[in-house]
Amino acid sequence: MKTSKVILNMNTLLKKALMRKAKNEGMNLSTVLNIAARAYVGDRLKITALDKDIDEGLEDIRRGRTISQEDLFKKLGF
């Protein structure tokens, strides 16, 4: 299998915790990230961290709790 390098930024404490957990489960960081990437591409991993925020935003739109871009810029002083 052909591979390529990936460079990414990650919180240092998160990286250490991820590496520690991977090691405890007999894997390395590369293996964990490859497993996660394959699961995500294969629709077996759903990123749900923003679901609540998106749902709340859609509810705001449904209830008319929005302002125009122009009003927002005025409010922010632009």
| Percent helix, percent strand, percent coil in the chain, to nearest 5 | 60, 0, 40
pLDDT score for 77: 92
Kindly state the average pLDDT of the residues 50-58.
93
Confidence of residue 1 (pLDDT cuts 50, 70, 90): confident
pLDDT tens, residue by residue, 8-38: 999 999 999 999 999 999 999 999 999 999 9
CA distance 20 to 63: 46
Kindly state the average pLDDT of the residues 62-67.
94
CA distance 40 to 26: 21
- Is pTM beyond 0.85 here? no
Each domain of the chain, given as residue ranges in start order, spans 8-46, 47-78
